[in-house]
Amino acid sequence: MPSARIHAGEESAYGIQAASLDASNLQLERARQQLQYQVIETFYAALMNEQGVRVAEEQITLATRQLELAKTRFDAGSGARLDVLQAEVELANARARRIQARAAVATAYQALRTVLSLPQSQTLRLRGSLDERPEPITRDTLRATIPTRPDLRVFTARRVMAEHAVNLANAETRPSLALTGNLQYQDDGVNNLLRTDNQSYTVGIALRVPLFAQPTVAARRVVADAQMRQTEHGLNAATDAARLEVESAFTSFEAANEVVTTQEKALELARESVAIAQTSYENGVITSAELSDVQVRLLQTEFVLLQAKYSRIVAAAQARLASGTN
């Protein structure tokens, strides 16, 4: 019959393998979550750069109109040649910024293709908007789901492996009793196979007492105990780091959300200010420099709004990644 030591050892060995499989599956799940976050981050970065090109195009339109107004006033004798030169410089700068924006789009597309494992020659057409609002999240909900993070659950699987390793080491110190039997045939003829006079039986009992296994077992037990303590400390450290990640991401999400609300109102005021400034410049009330300042503030407001919308989406995704939710 099978010995008690072998039975306990096989059970512990199976438990180690099962826990190792669970740990591998959890690591795969965490890697999948991280990949999803990378896709979100790179996708909306490309989308933000695309809209940055649109803002640069708007800047060129404003600069072109300002140049036309400056030339009209100069030809009518109500403007200075300096205004025309400044308008030409602003238009050239706007075109340069558009070139930079298009280069940023190309770089963002390359990053997105890399994340998606697509060839660099693959044509991409993005469908989406930075105006999309992430699903509502709360700090308490994120905190409550931290223990479910796959990489934190890996530590639990490692602890189970260490516990089985301790049991496997303890099984080495137990005596075992084995019963063996042997039936032998001494006739080559098939017709005489069932005859009893050509058969012999052997029965044996074996008792194994591991008298000298104690030092080896003690060393294995010490190693397994150290692994258990290591997993406990690693779990505590990883949990603290996860809480910090959640707090940082949620704080960034709240800040970006407030910036979006503020900049949306500021953008409306900036557009109105540009319209008023253009009318004032046409009537000679303000200078071209003052008109340029108003237009620059409009563009800065648009860029800040784009970045805030991007930060809000990414922060929400990062908060979910930190809490272990999809």
Structure confidence at residue 108 (pLDDT): 93
Among the CATH numbers 1.20.1600.10, 1.10.275.10, 3.90.1150.10, 2.40.50.140, which is that of 4-129+145-186+197-323? 1.20.1600.10
CA distance 82 to 67: 11
CB 316 within 8 A of CB 50: no
Q: Give strand ranges (E) for 102-198.
A: 176-185
CB 84 within 8 A of CB 71: yes
Token pair recorded at residue 257: 């959300």
Global confidence as pTM: 0.74
Structure confidence at residue 174 (pLDDT): 66
CB 312 within 8 A of CB 134: yes
CB 94 within 8 A of CB 275: no
Structure confidence at residue 70 (pLDDT): 83
Structure confidence at residue 134 (pLDDT): 82
Token pair recorded at residue 89: 């410089």
Contacts for 196 with CB less than 8 Å, ≥ 6 apart = none
Structure confidence at residue 2 (pLDDT): 41
Structure confidence at residue 136 (pLDDT): 82
CB 5 within 8 A of CB 169: no
CA distance 209 to 195: 40
* Domain locations in the chain as residue ranges: 4-129+145-186+197-323
- pLDDT tens track of the chain, all 326 residues? 344 444 556 777 788 888 888 989 999 999 999 999 999 999 999 999 999 898 889 889 888 888 888 888 788 777 778 888 888 888 899 899 999 999 999 999 999 999 999 998 888 888 888 888 888 888 889 999 899 899 999 988 888 888 877 777 666 666 666 677 776 666 555 565 555 556 676 777 766 666 666 677 677 778 778 888 888 888 899 999 999 999 999 999 999 999 999 999 999 999 999 889 888 877 878 877 788 888 888 888 988 999 999 999 999 999 999 998 87
